[in-house]
Amino acid sequence: SGSWTAMTSNYYPALFKGDKLEELACVLGNKVCEFSEFIQKESCSNKIRGTIAGSIGLHNSCHSFRELGINNEPIKILNQIEGLEIKEPAKGQVCCGFGGLFSFKYDQIAAAMAKSRLQQFLDLKVDLIVANDPGCIMHMRQEAKDRMIDIKIYHLVEFLVEVMNFNYKDTS
């Protein structure tokens, strides 16, 4: 999650400044990274292989883009999937309206923002949407459900699991 990573990387050191946990907060902040960042830092994108015929709309979360500077990392990963066409709205990086408490305090504004963001992807005629933040995914899924729009919205990891044909079995 870009939001969690941004919080621990960028804000934990300041939150714990002067506290007995300050050093630990700094160590944690330096170790944490968002999934697509991790794949790139560890040079693992060449291990990603899959095939799908279709197009996706890529939604890069505000926290990932603005707080962490993540821009091309998800695209580099998705480019490893054969047959995939990645479509991004002409307006570029636009907020979906989730923003944590924002969507609860300003629910009508947040819903309008989600509606606008979904419409951008629908106008592109994408087959599905891939995002990298659970908050954005939850928010856009709810808006799609409320508008009775049948479009799948995946986390980047969920999408990769599907197109790479992982056979995950819960052993609990």
Q: Is the model's pLDDT at 168 over the cut of 60?
A: no
Q: Which residue did the predictor score with more confidence, 93 or 51?
A: 51
Average pLDDT over residues 128-139: 89
Nearest CA to 61 out of 144, 153, 145, 169 is that of: 153
Q: Sort strands 50-59 and 152-155 into parallel, antiparallel or unpaired.
A: unpaired
Using 50, 70 and 90 to split pLDDT, how confident is the model at 122? very high
Give CA–CA dist 48/39, Å, rounded.
10
Using 50, 70 and 90 to split pLDDT, how confident is the model at 167? low
CA angle 81/119/149 to nearest 5° reads 85
Q: What is the phi/psi pair of residue 81, to 5°?
A: -90, 120
The predicted model scores a pTM of 0.83
pLDDT digits (tens, 9 = 90+) for 23-67: 998 998 888 888 888 888 888 888 888 888 999 999 887 777 777
Residue 118 is which amino acid? L
Q: Is the model's pLDDT at 157 over the cut of 80?
A: yes
Which residues sit opposite 81 in a β-bridge?
50
Helix segments in 19-69, DSSP class H: 22-31, 35-41, 62
Give CA–CA dist 95/115, Å, rounded.
11
Looking at residue 21, what is its pLDDT? Answer: 92
